[in-house]
Amino acid sequence: MAKDWENMGLKPHLSKQERMPRSYKEVEKILKDVKAFKGNLKTLLNNSRLRGPIFKKVYSLATNVLKYRLVLDKIIEETGLLKKETFLRQELAGILIYELIFGKGLPGESRPVTVVKQYEESIHKAYEKVKNDDSLVNKGLQCIPRYVRVNTLLTSLPDVLNKLRKAEYYEIRYEEGISINEYLDLVKNLETGSFMIDYHFKDLLVFSSNENLTTWSLFQKNHVYIQDKSSYIPVFALDPKPESVVIDACAAPGMKTIHIASLMENKGKIYAFEKSDNRFKILKKMLNDSCVEICEAECEDFYLVNTNNPKFQNLECILVDPTCSGSGMVNRLDTVTDTEDSKNVLRLQKLAGFQILLLKHALTFPSVKRVVYSTCSISEEENEYVVHEVLNHFRNMFKLVSVMPDWPFRGSDNYEFGKLCLRAHPEKTFTNGFFVAMFERLSYDEQQSVSLNNETFSNYGKSSKKKQRGKN
Ligand SMILES: C[S@@+](CC[C@H](N)C(=O)[O-])C[C@H]1O[C@@H](n2cnc3c(N)ncnc32)[C@H](O)[C@@H]1O
């Protein structure tokens, strides 16, 4: 007999135990949107209303489900779960199976959870069958280690190390003089529960890709950030000094602004610009939560910022980290599902055009000495080509300087200046794909010698069509 609430067309009131955790519902929605190419994971999350611990939880779970999606899909197929339980949806089934195998198990007694638990044995069996299949693991989203940057504005490396030891994390130590390849071998074999200090950056900790860091109180208190090693490099190259004046041209969500403030020891001035209203709110919150005290943040298009404003008269350096295709991000679903068509040339050309405008604008600030350009893209159009165009325009005033010369992976050989630029690559550097170039203002003598060279060229009637310059 139908219950009263059914007759009235109402849904039953479910107890907390019977409801599915909110984070699962949010992850399911985000995954559907990613698959529908509505944006990448980070953008969708930043544009959602999720904030605080639920944001971090959803981000971490969605990232992991994407990372293992081919394995999870195979398990769904092997167990016939969706055919037998037709009310279950693909994304939700993936989330629940991920939690069952890699997470902390399935909480509560909601219907999807109860049903998936009934298949626990066959799910584990299917996982044992597929877990060593490289074509699933490697062709899915790649596993790169998880990097944790210590927020020195709120704590110190020794303090974080102490807390990790107390939590029984084991530090894998290595000798100072080991080669980068020996180091990368150690990273490859990192297991959950252990960590290392990074080879290049001593306030960066390296954990296994399976480590769940978002539950740490250190993370929740903003004492540490999960930040890929590649995105640490632009600020390291920029080298902002305490008491200096710095611009972060494209700042939200603010990871690099916070890093800049840390290197400046919260002394001096950072002007941070962000064009999008929504992302500007996130930036403000991030800066506040991280105790950045020296940043004047404005919701403004950097391209429209007046370069002659007196407040920039002692400007030292600018970071230009603009919107890009994000093709270097290994946790983006579109890096493995993109069709050739969607990677179309037109889109990259449009992005490059906008990146060139912003970078050129940065180089027109009269007193700026250093400008770092970075993207999380692997396409030449958004990287070397942009640098080439800008360098051609400013060759009388700026030169390219080598970014971390001992870094093993450099810019494209198709450009004469390629080796001065730094590239990062999941398989080669165990990071996201990334690109960094650094412009430095020519000294007076260098400027003289460049204009002399130009004169000589024009006297001999030679055109300056040579494609690549900037070799130092
Ligand atoms: C790659 S993200 C920056 C990430 C940031 N640097 C960080 O490390 O957290 C690029 C940002 O630039 C912003 N942006 C795009 N065009 C801009 C413009 N013309 N002026 C200022 N910000 C812009 C985007 O809204 C986006 O938030």
Q: Which of 323, 354, 356 to mutate to test the pocket of ligand 1 (most atoms within 8 A of CB)?
A: 323
CA of 95 to the centre of ligand 1 (A): 31
Confidence of residue 36 (pLDDT cuts 50, 70, 90): low
How would you classify the pairing of strands 295-299 and 269-274? Answer: parallel
Average pLDDT rounded to a whole number, residues 440-468:
66
pLDDT tens sequence across 334-362: 443 444 444 457 888 899 999 999 999 99
Residues 425, 409: contact at Cβ < 8 Å?
yes
Residue with tokens 């390629």: 418
Closest CA to 244 of 313, 314, 292: 314
CA of 282 to the centre of ligand 1 (A): 12
Q: How far out from the chain centre does Cα 268 lie?
A: 26
Which residue type is seen at 308?
A: N
Cβ neighbours around 136 below 10 Å, total: 18
Phi-psi region of 80 (alpha: psi -120 to 50; beta: other; left: phi over 0): left
Question: What pLDDT does 384 receive?
Answer: 96
Q: Which two tokens stand for residue 240?
A: 């902002």
Question: What pLDDT does 318 receive?
Answer: 98
Confidence of residue 329 (pLDDT cuts 50, 70, 90): confident
Residue 468 pLDDT > 50, yes or no? no
CA of 406 to the centre of ligand 1 (A): 29
Cβ neighbours around 74 below 10 Å, total: 20
pLDDT tens sequence across 80-135: 999 999 999 999 999 999 999 988 889 899 999 999 999 999 999 999 988 877 66
pLDDT tens sequence across 385-401: 999 999 999 999 999 99
Q: Which two tokens stand for residue 255?
A: 């990871």
Mean pLDDT of the residues in the chain? 87
| Percent of the residues in the chain that have a pLDDT greater than 70, as a whole number | 87
338 known member of a binding site: no
CA of 321 to the centre of ligand 1 (A): 6
Closest CA to 383 of 406, 403, 368, 397: 403
Residues 6+ apart with CB under 8 A from 163: 218
Q: What gap in Å lies between CA 227 and CA 321, rounded to an integer?
A: 15
pLDDT tens sequence across 155-211: 999 999 999 999 899 999 999 899 998 999 899 889 889 999 999 999 999 998 878
Closest CA to 142 of 419, 426, 441: 426
Q: Which two tokens stand for residue 71?
A: 């394995």
Question: What pLDDT does 471 receive?
Answer: 37
321 known member of a binding site: yes
Question: What pLDDT does 15 receive?
Answer: 78
SS3 for 216-269 is CHHHHCCCEEECCHHHHHHHHHHCCCCCCEEEECCCCCCHHHHHHHHHCCCCCE
Work out which ligand 1 atom sits closest to the CA atom of 252.
Answer: 27
Question: What pLDDT does 456 receive?
Answer: 60
Work out which ligand 1 atom sits closest to the CA atom of 326.
Answer: 1
Phi-psi region of 143 (alpha: psi -120 to 50; beta: other; left: phi over 0): beta
pLDDT tens sequence across 287-316: 999 999 999 999 999 999 999 999 999 999
CB distance 149 to ligand 1 below 6 Å? no
274 known member of a binding site: yes
pLDDT tens sequence across 269-295: 999 999 999 999 999 999 999 999 999
Residue 225 pLDDT > 50, yes or no? yes
Residues 62, 32: contact at Cβ < 8 Å?
no
Average pLDDT rounded to a whole number, residues 459-463:
39
Q: Which two tokens stand for residue 37?
A: 């190419």
Active site residue 376: yes
Q: Which two tokens stand for residue 471?
A: 């070799």
N- to C-terminal Cα separation, the chain: 85
Residues 325, 385: contact at Cβ < 8 Å?
no
Closest CA to 133 of 63, 70, 189: 70
Closest CA to 149 of 294, 258, 298: 258
Question: What pLDDT does 50 receive?
Answer: 87
